[in-house]
Amino acid sequence: MIALLEVAGLTAGYGAVRALHGIDLTVGENEIVAVLGANGAGKTTLLRALSGTVKAAGRASLGGLDLTRTGAHRIARAGLGHVPQGRGTFTGLTVEENVRLGLLSRPAGSRGQADGDLARIYETFPVLQEMRRRPAGALSGGQQQMLALARALLARPRLLLIDEPSLGLAPLTSADMFAVLSRLREEWSLSVLLAEQNARASLKVADRGVVLARGRVVATAPAAELAADASLRAAYLGTAADSPEGVTA
């Protein structure tokens, strides 16, 4: 079977600093893959390289589209959604204006379904509907993370890249956020590449995990296998200071 996302020998960096040294990974249709690794391992750079916001070389293909030779805007329209770390909320706009920004990256042919999609989004995230006329800056951290997901969904992605969604969230809020990913995967026929320092929580929702260390893949395995591997966790995942649950099982 051909994977939706196929990455081979992907390199990327910032000027003279190389952050990724040849990454290989795949994400299948409807699959959730967690990218794990300590601070600075290269998770954010990997997502940026795929969404075209950092220059990359090597092979990265989304349903046949060569991501290393395509601009960020076209990549988004081809069905790749990116929820960056920090969430990118425009705090001066209302909640609904923020969500509707997702419409700008919709693929041609799906314009007519925008109202229906917005209604589905409000069904999944009722708090966004309640707050829709309020400034987005009034939302809590967890609600802003939901807003960022909602905006990405409105662009109708096939593959969603999500960068550290649990960062800065309280444990219960973060658990809700991971639970919602399972639901979204089903309801929106999504594939997800999830970058997280919180290995325990992300491996609960993921099918497979890929562990990065210093810009290289050091392990790829089914999520349950990685979750049970204490020596791997000790060697590469460390203790995430930002993660309320820590990374140990």
The contact set with ligand ATP (CB under 6 A) reads 14, 17, 19, 37, 39-45, 197
Nearer to ligand ATP, 14 or 248 (CB): 14
Residue 56 to residue 52: CA distance in whole angstroms: 8
Cβ neighbours around 115 below 10 Å, total: 8
- Considering the complex, what minimum distance in angstroms separates the CB of residue 118 from ligand ATP? 31
Q: Count Cα atoms within 13 angstroms, Cβ side, for 213.
A: 10
Q: Which of 200, 201, 202 is nearest to 192 (CA)?
A: 202
Burial class (CB within 10 angstroms; exposed 0-12, middle 13-18, buried 19+) of 145: buried
- Considering the complex, what minimum distance in angstroms separates the CB of residue 247 from ligand ATP? 12
- Considering the complex, what minimum distance in angstroms separates the CB of residue 47 from ligand ATP? 8
- Considering the complex, what minimum distance in angstroms separates the CB of residue 41 from ligand ATP? 4
Nearer to ligand ATP, 42 or 81 (CB): 42
Nearer to ligand ATP, 154 or 201 (CB): 201
In the beta sheet, which residues pair with residue 23?
Answer: 10
Q: Which of 102, 112, 109, 20 is nearest to 58 (CA)?
A: 20
Nearer to ligand ATP, 223 or 240 (CB): 240
Nearer to ligand ATP, 42 or 102 (CB): 42
Cβ–Cβ < 8 Å for 238, 213: no
- Considering the complex, what minimum distance in angstroms separates the CB of residue 193 from ligand ATP? 13
Nearer to ligand ATP, 37 or 165 (CB): 37
Cβ–Cβ < 8 Å for 47, 76: no
- Considering the complex, what minimum distance in angstroms separates the CB of residue 197 from ligand ATP? 6
- Considering the complex, what minimum distance in angstroms separates the CB of residue 96 from ligand ATP? 30
Nearer to ligand ATP, 143 or 197 (CB): 197
The CA radius of gyration of the chain, in Å to the nearest whole number, is 17
DSSP E strands, the chain: 5-14, 17-27, 32-36, 56-62, 65-66, 80-83, 159-163, 191-196, 208-213, 216-222
